[in-house]
């Protein structure tokens, strides 16, 4: 494709603004249309999590765009989970090997930085306050509304990317085409963001370099650190039932619930009631669709094609990985989009479905299993096997978070590793005799042979 050819990206969220930089670097004429106002002047209006966990897949894409150093300088490493029991006991569980961490990153800060870098390209133009209304695939045109001028506008391009999030307008137009598969599933849970302010000296009041979890079986509270000494907490709770959002209506209901389940967190939350009433209750949705493209001209990326629940911290990371893979395909296929678009759509769907499944499973792990001694034992044995057999055994969490292995490989490995640990954990007295246990070694080597 000659570099004077036009590209439209719908959505200047995390994935759209990163993808715009990578396309502009290659010399394409890039126009980005965003529904919201310009965050560079109006500030970031989020509506969703204030901070996010960034892991290796996300960092790789940011490196490609030349922004990783700047973002890492203000990101906070979280080396493991800090579990808070109902009695206030703390247990730390490392995420990976020494030095491996996921990073707490500001959603608004990251989005703004990507926009600032994008605006340095002469061949990249942003159109804010321009919601996409529909795509006409035959005419290769997109209809937008210019909210400032209050008029309809139409634009055309050789390539169109739908990066307009979970409720994508580009995808809505694709849905009207024959043989487009689409599924949307909501969890019966909602989430609410809460706040732990910094201490009097601006310090973090609980361990800074950890992701905090208060696992309570059917529900949980988590907290991620911010650079100003505060924590952003998120309560994940069923909408209906005995302990549920519907039961937390009055100040007394909310306080009694926190006194019962999260007393140590409550002591750090002077604005709990205010936050609880003011902040909306968010939904948790998984969206799967297929194909992600129309001919060689329209392609969905990020949440527009694969929105997942946040329990593996992989939504943004997987969207950024879309950008990495597409960028690599541009080299492999000499920028022949008639090959890249259908190939990407075809090979990536299975990975997106795999991380959607893994994210749903991780919800059970986070809210329930992390407090289970058997689960903690499994983690310890897994880490031990990884040390004993480097390169031969990688725990699934590390595959997803600290590697670039396709997600569908991690999903298959998770099923295989479940079988391995079923055998190991069934050994008599395993709790007290798992290190250098010849029976563990025998089961492991047998399992390895079968893989
Ligand atoms: C509570 C919560 C916590 C999360 N935590 C993590 C985490 O720790 N780690 C992680 O990796 N992921 C996390 N995620 C997922 C992550 O937020 C998403 O995967 C990520 O934001 C997807 O980026 P995106 O650019 O594809 O979509 P979005 O961020 O939704 O951006 C889409 C953009 O398109 C714009 N837009 C929408 N409609 C139109 C239209 N019609 N026309 C023009 N523009 C439009 C929107 O205004 C927006 O700017 C979390 C999600 C939630 C809900």
Residue-range domain boundaries for the chain: 6-66+107-183+287-361, 372-450
Helix (H) / strand (E) containing 22: helix 14-25
Check: CB of residue 62 under 8 Å from CB of residue 154: no
**Atom in ligand 1 nearest the alpha carbon of residue 33:** 43
3-state DSSP assignment of residue 405: coil
- The residue count of the chain comes to 451
Q: Best mutation site among 10, 11, 45, 318 for ligand 1, i.e. most ligand atoms within 8 A of its Cβ?
A: 11
> What integer pLDDT is reported at residue 48 of this predicted model?
59
* Residue 451 to residue 439: CA distance in whole angstroms: 19
User: Residue 367 has what pLDDT?
Assistant: 82
Stated pTM of the model: 0.95
d(C-alpha 408, C-alpha 414), whole Å: 10
For residues 345 and 299, the answer to whether their CB atoms sit within 8 Å is yes
Pocket of ligand 1 (CB under 6 A): 10-16, 33-36, 48-49, 52-53, 131-132, 163-165, 169, 191, 234, 282, 302-304, 310, 313-317, 319
The pLDDT, as a whole number, for residue 45 is 62
Is 401 exposed, middle or buried (CB count within 10 Å of its CB: 0-12, 13-18, 19+)? buried
Question: At a CB cut-off of 8 Å and minimum separation 6, what does 36 contact?
Answer: 12, 42, 45, 128, 129
pLDDT at residue 375 in the model: 87
Segments of the chain with pLDDT less than 50? 1-2
Helices assigned H by DSSP within 262-336: 263-266, 272-278, 315-332
Fold of 6-66+107-183+287-361: FAD/NAD(P)-binding domain (3.50.50)
Atom 9 of ligand 1 has which residue's CA nearest to it?
A: 313
Are 19 and 44 contacting, i.e. CB atoms less than 8 angstroms apart? no
Give the model's pLDDT for residue 62: 97
**Ligand 1 atom at minimal distance to the Cα of residue 52:** 8
């Amino acid at each position: 494709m000659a570099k004077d050819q036009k590209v439209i990206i719908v959505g200047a969220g995390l994935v759209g603004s990163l993808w715009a930089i990578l396309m502009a670097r290659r010399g394409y004429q890039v126009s980005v249309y965003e529904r919201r106002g310009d965050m560079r002047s109006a500030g970031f209006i989020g509506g969703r999590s204030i901070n996010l966990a960034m892991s290796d897949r996300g960092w790789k894409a940011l490196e490609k765009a030349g922004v990783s150093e700047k973002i890492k300088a203000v990101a906070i490493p979280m080396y493991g989970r800090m579990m808070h029991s109902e009695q206030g006991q703390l247990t730390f569980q490392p995420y990976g090997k020494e030095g491996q961490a996921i990073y707490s990153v500001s959603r608004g800060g990251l989005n703004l930085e990507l926009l600032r870098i994008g605006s340095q390209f002469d061949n990249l133009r942003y159109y804010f306050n321009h919601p996409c209304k529909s795509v006409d695939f035959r005419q290769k045109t997109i209809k937008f509304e210019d909210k400032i001028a209050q008029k309809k506008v139409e634009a055309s391009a050789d390539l169109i990317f739908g990066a307009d999030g979970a409720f994508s307008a580009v995808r809505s137009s694709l849905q009207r085409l024959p043989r487009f598969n689409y599924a949307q599933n909501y969890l019966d849970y909602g989430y609410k963001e809460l706040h732990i302010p910094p201490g009097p000296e601006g310090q973090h009041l609980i361990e800074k370099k950890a992701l905090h979890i208060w696992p309570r079986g059917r529900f949980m509270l988590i907290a991620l650190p911010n650079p100003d000494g505060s924590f952003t907490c998120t309560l994940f709770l069923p909408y209906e039932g005995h302990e549920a959002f519907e039961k937390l209506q009055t100040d007394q209901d909310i306080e009694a619930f926190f006194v019962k389940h999260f007393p140590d967190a409550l002591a750090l939350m002077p604005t709990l009631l205010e936050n609880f009433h003011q902040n909306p209750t968010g939904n948790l949705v998984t969206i799967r669709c297929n194909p992600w493209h129309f001919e060689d001209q329209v392609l969905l990326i990020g949440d527009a094609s694969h929105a997942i629940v946040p329990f593996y911290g992989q939504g943004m990371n997987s969207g950024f990985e879309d950008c990495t893979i597409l960028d690599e395909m541009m080299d492999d296929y000499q920028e022949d989009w008639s090959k890249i678009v259908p190939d990407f759509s075809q090979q990536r769907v299975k990975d997106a479905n795999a991380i959607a499944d893994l994210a749903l499973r991780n919800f059970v792990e986070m809210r329930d299993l992390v407090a289970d001694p058997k689960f903690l034992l499994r983690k310890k044995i897994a880490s031990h096997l990884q040390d004993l057999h480097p390169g031969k055994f990688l725990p699934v969490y590390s595959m997803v978070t600290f590697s670039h292995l396709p997600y569908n490989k991690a999903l298959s490995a998770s099923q295989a590793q479940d079988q391995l640990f079923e055998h190991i954990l069934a050994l008599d007295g395993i709790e007290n005799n798992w290190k250098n246990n010849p029976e563990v070694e025998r089961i492991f080597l047998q399992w390895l042979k079968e893989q």
